[in-house]
Amino acid sequence: MIKSLHLLVASLFCFSLVSTAQSAKMVHWTYSAKKVADKVYEVHMTADIEGDYHLYAQNAGVEGPLPTTFKFAGNPLAATEGKVKELGKLVKKNEEVWGGVVHYYEKSVDFVQVVKLKANVKTTLSGSVEYNVCNASRCLPPSTTEFKVNIGG
């Protein structure tokens, strides 16, 4: 009985890892920084979305789908300014399964965070992005991707 339970738990864990890996394969992230003023940078976090999947906006529109969420690690040399902006073709669509109008991106979207350095130094902006992708027939499990972007100098 105990052996069967361990086998079941191990099987579920492996399935979970495979499912999460599938979700991460549907979105390819690239990161870059662009200087826009003295000690001020735009950090671009670009999502390229595979196939017929879509990625939910930071404001998904309704409760249910997981919105894209960014978390930034603390850095004593830099501070984020304002909220992450979204640059892309936002789709707003009424979906009965979610009970309202959802907001998402197809193919690609560029998320932009303004970062101000406290001095003219080289440093990094690091953190993670949690996101969810769906298509017309299914949603894949949410995924979290960590990132690190060089800024300054």
pLDDT confidence of 23, banded at 50, 70, 90?
low
DSSP state of 18: H
pLDDT given at position 13: 37
pLDDT given at position 22: 64
pLDDT given at position 112: 98
pLDDT given at position 7: 37
Mean pLDDT of 52-57: 97
pLDDT in tens, 89-147: 999 999 998 999 999 999 999 999 999 999 999 999 999 999 999 999 999 999 999 99
pLDDT in tens, 77-101: 999 999 999 999 999 999 998 999 9
Give residue 96's identity as a one-letter amino acid code.
Answer: E
Tell whether the model's pLDDT for residue 71 goes beyond 80.
Answer: yes
Pair type for strands 122-131 and 69-72: antiparallel
From residue 5, how far is each of 14, 18, 103 by CA, in Å? Answer: 14, 20, 41
Tell whether the model's pLDDT for residue 3 goes beyond 50.
Answer: no
DSSP state of 68: P
Give the list of residues 6+ apart from residue 18 with CB closer than 8 angstroms, or none.
Answer: none
Domains of the chain as residue ranges with CATH:
2-152 (2.60.40.1250)
Question: Global pTM?
Answer: 0.84
Mean pLDDT of 54-76: 97
